[in-house]
Structure 1
């Protein structure tokens, strides 16, 4: 497991990857800003993270509506709880999942076509392991069977959708292993 403790280590790691300039931008948009966290709290900061990376969020006050526009966020003095994240086609990364710490109402996350989410990226979902009920992982081509095995800790899941995973060679085997750990979860592989 790769553990990077500071910005210079993170940049050095990605400098050696093929991501180039957009990799640096993705890192900047995914790193937790501790000062901003203290100022606005975890839910606001998490919403800002998702929106800056091209995703959408839903709140407890408008549970059926996802917003994708950063300017649609409530004013900073208005407190809210995130209940859903749709990171479809976004640039979320594992380091960004640290934004989920303290977001104690996130019940649904969609990770579809997340090109910057790497093999160990799903490990970051441990931050919502006791509250997450619905998860979709699809079209995330950097993730294999090993990466999907990180989902075993999400014991509160009620539904899990996994499909269009190009480099998952044996989805049936992974699904079977997940069913053993996630006894109360309905797993579908469309």
Structure 2
């Protein structure tokens, strides 16, 4: 929280140069995505992962309360309350590849939504291997840094049952990507289109 207290002063100093402002916000995005080892040892993997997603603008659902989407950091259960994350909804968040290290040891995540994640790099999906044993449903949409090669890693997620890909304007050959993934994931229902929304995933 100390970093947040400093932000107004820092941005005021950089206000005359838009390039510097972009740089400081990029630094903040990286800071908010790094795993805090000390915090991890104190609160455990699931809580730290929830805090990471929420601090970056996303939300989570718990196994214990799947109908509720938690998006407010201050409303999270107390640190002594144990919970397991079921759904990661990173829509419109500032998550980055390094942040996906938070998924390690979160063994109950079965659904992940990456929608409009502008900071997620082309190789950002590689971090999903941490939850490959539990992940069944995945949406990747509006993540404009991700190309054909970035989507290819999805083929390693052998337990996927539903895959939704849309609005990926820098994917050159979506048909080829979808065909390759279908070959690797024959039991997965794959809906993929370069532009537009084709299917709304279930809540």
Structure 1: gaps spanning 5 or more residues: 1-17
Alignment of 1:24-103 (within 5 A): 24-103=27-106
What SS does the corresponding residue of 2:25 show, helix, strand or coil? helix
Query: RMSD of aligned C-alpha atoms?
Result: 1.1
- Gap change, CA 1:126 and 1:19, over 3 Å in 2: farther
TM-score by length of 1: 0.89
Task: Write out per-residue CA displacement over residues 51-106 of structure 1, whole angstroms, 9 at most, x where no aligned residue.
Answer: 00000000011112211111111000000000001100000000000000000000
TM-score by length of 2: 0.84
- Gap change, CA 1:94 and 1:72, over 3 Å in 2: same
Is the radius of gyration larger for structure 1 or structure 2?
2
Q: Which residue of 2 aligns with 1:118?
A: 121
What SS does the corresponding residue of 1:66 show, helix, strand or coil? strand
- The answer to whether structure 1 residue 155 and structure 2 residue 158 are counterparts is yes
Distance, in Å, in 2 between the alignment partners of 1:109 and 1:26 is: 20
Which shows bigger deviation, 65-74 or 135-144?
A: 65-74
Distance, in Å, in 1 between the alignment partners of 2:22 and 2:100 is: 19
Alignment of 1:117-136 (within 5 A): 117-136=120-139
Distance, in Å, in 1 between the alignment partners of 2:75 and 2:85 is: 14
What SS does the corresponding residue of 1:143 show, helix, strand or coil? coil
Task: Write out per-residue CA displacement over residues 152-182 of structure 1, whole angstroms, 9 at most, x where no aligned residue.
Answer: 1111000000000010011010000000111
Instruction: Choose from 165, 180, 183 the match for 1:180.
Output: 183
Question: After TM superposition, what 4+ stretches of structure 1 lie above 6 angstroms from structure 2?
Answer: none
How many residues in Structure 1 have an aligned counterpart in Structure 2?
Answer: 173
Structure 2: gaps spanning 5 or more residues: 1-20, 193-197, 199-203
Which shows bigger deviation, 59-68 or 42-51?
A: 59-68
Distance, in Å, in 2 between the alignment partners of 1:97 and 1:153 is: 16
